[in-house]
Structure 1
Amino acid sequence: MDLSLSINRSTGLKGLTFWGQWALAQGFVVTLLFILAEQHTGTVAFYYRMCATLAVLASVPAYTFSGVYRKRDNYLTGLGRLFMGWSMTMAALACIAFVCQADELFSRQVILSWAVYGFLGQAFLYAPLHAFSKYYQRSRKSEHKTLIVGTGELALGLAKKLSQLENLPLVGLVSNGDVSVLGSDAPRVVGDQEQLLELIEAHDIRRLYITLPLSEAAKIEAIYGDLLGANVDVVWVPDLNSLTLLNHSVKVVDGLPAIYLNESPLTSRPTAALSKSLVEKTVAFLAIIALSPILLIIALAVKINSPGPVFFKQDRHGWNGKVIKVWKFRSMRVHDDRDVKQASRNDSRITAVGRFIRRTSLDELPQLFNVLQGHMALVGPRPHAVAHNNYYSGKILAYMARHRIKPGITGLAQISGCRGETDTIDKMQKRVEIDLQYINSWSLWLDLKILVKTPFTLLSKDIY
């Protein structure tokens, strides 16, 4: 486990920070709509009341997707997320009104004023609530003076993490052996384990982290037994540095603490996974309709340029290693593909049209149909040919773990410069590392950022 890449993932429901601010904001926007409607028509008609109800309901997934009211955000970032959440809510209402042919019922002046003043009012409410939330967090954290038992790599990594948290004072480390290897920038060692109870009392410690290795389980048990009467929070941080963790978390299973070392985001967060699937299928469907003239032109060009089928279908591994057929526009002359050789610079197999559509990634557009089928996602690790997976799986640690989420048309690796041919183990290793980083940090917000950045990477010089 690399502490620098570990990401805390909540396994429960949203807390009062979200729901409290959300309730105040929605109370404001509903009241504002009713006031504007009454000023304009003299009454609050049924369709305005229905609009308010739908706005409240739509705001929950919209604000969740946008990450509104996150504790760690600064004020400007929070405003940006709030603007995005409110814009998504208004867009959802506009779509509903269009589908139901109810847009003529509403006054454009009322709705426009509601949209503008609704956001400004929420932003005004957000300022004091955000400031109070930050103040409360600081006051609470300042009460939690901490000690770390251990002086190893895990202890130093944890100390670095704690130092990055505002107002969470770390008093120092408690030695369990030789500390001569500690660098000059390491936290100070305030004593050894024999002095632990005295250190807790002397420094008014409220939280203690145990970072001893699993080989010292008996010592961990003894330390914890001594601390039961010390009125201090005790947190055990298991040393899992030797393991490759994937979307890891800690949960309680019928009263038993369980460490999930490897779990697919699609099963650990089913609601978010369903939202991802619905959004991506909708976007894929709309994209196919909007791009249909381009799809037809490319299909015609491929057919005219060289004999053979328009589409190239290849077996690749999908979610959980299931073999799927991935579609592409055919960019090569028809040939024996049993060896599955990667395309390279000046590859003689590539046709003139194929070179253009590969260079611009237009050959990937038929994978929108794979997204509609549910076999792929818009965003995820790129699927590799089965033969390539069989080759690399024995050479790169955790290579097949990249299939713990649906493969995508684009991904974090692609916008990070890992596009084109992977002609060395090191290149593939880097791509796998980024794919696993994506799985560990997956969110709908991250998907959106990847989609926005993808067009700016399509003309990479490494694509051929």
Structure 2
Amino acid sequence: MIDPPINFLFSDLVKFMSIGSDIRDKTRRVDQAYGQRGTIWSSDTIPYILSTSDALVIVLASISGGIFYHLFAGSPVPNLLPCCAVGLMAAFIYILRMSGVGYYDLPDSAKPGVEITEILVCWFSTGILLAFFAFLLKIGGDYSRGAFFAFYLVTPIGLLAVRKATKAKLASAVAKGGIRRRDAVLVGDQTEMAALAPRDRLALFGATDVKEFRLSGQVDPESRLADDEGVFEQIRAFVRRNNCREVLLVLPWNDTARIEFAREKVKNLPVSSRLLPDSHVRSLSNFVSSARQRVLAIEIQRAPLSAVERVVKRAMDILVAAPALAALLPIFVLTAIAIKLDSAGPVIFRQRRRGFNGKEFVMLKFRTMKVQEDGPVVVQATRQDPRVTSIGRFLRAASIDELPQLLNVLSGEMSLIGPRPHALAHDSYFEKILEDYAFRHHVKPGLTGWAQCNGSRGATPTVEDIAERVKLDLWYVNNWSLWLDVQILIKTFFEVARKRNAY
């Protein structure tokens, strides 16, 4: 039995919002895996704590500015609700702008030295934006200009003081080994890993303690390759088990073979990946001498969709799939009756496919063939395929056979829009002949996709055909937006009507 659609959306939102409640647990717990005791701060809690601190400063400064200005002017203290509203709006604008430049992220927030210029420029420009909005919305009558001026001057003092205090707290935590990045893993050559001093680690990834995986120190190439294969199997299991978001590589930059090997292995994981400077590059750049400069690193794999983007995409899936499923229920019933009358066998065809992060799931389709292949060999459909039933030809031409996948969408295994999933046998083959094929698993598979809307639909009998589809799928992964999904949905209706490559 399928739960009501609202339950799917509610459960996803609960998972997303539980990030805030997890902060208290993550910031004060013992990490048994490392065998240490004491207060452990996880890096993914730092941005929430710092941004919340700034928001409190701004809101309190707005309220205090309103109170003290009216007391100083000898007038009664007015309704403070406008002060709260202005403070919240200012906090939203300020935090949004500072987050965009990585102000709250490690390692920037852990570096010594307060970013005085950045804070002042951002705050005073925020004040200008607030004044502009007040003029447009004509709210000057509800909020005193004198209170706004006091708020405008007092707030940067509070922001600078809080930043100074949090810098001192983070420095103390780093000195005690109390900052740990649980969202990242460090993979590297044994010599390069040993050369990373605590200060280097802080400058490179904002923490002195990161889960490490050391590659083989064998001299023999074959032995080293075998050992490295085993290490990356451990990395793959750890990343998926702990929902890590980043893989950091510390390898000699002149060891191109090992860098390429690591890049190939990371492809199968939906994480961002960066190649950090080796000891030679660090000695040339002397990056630790400056607390403010950005650290040189090469991004070899971009991150998949963020948590916010995934929630937005999931909400769209449910809001479209649930009404569509209800509206199409009569077609489901008529199709099921037609299939049963046409040939012997089940109404629904089930086949294992790979989804996000390579996780297997069972995809649903209306049965259109006399066979139900789901093994090591799956033969793709061809034109005038004798295995296709009479009613199956019509269902495939009209794409009605794909409609049961709306249930896969509601259950969270698929999305409305994404790369079309292939049978496991085809996946294994395509991964061997196309080096970028694994990137398709960085998002959920879709009921329809960018490739299908651009003519790459149906069977892929040649390497060129699947290469073209993968190229279009990767473009979608790298350029996702909500508007793009809407465009693909609209184009899908016209593509279905054309019946191009549908057999």
TM-score, normalised with respect to structure 2: 0.42
Structure number with higher helix proportion? 2
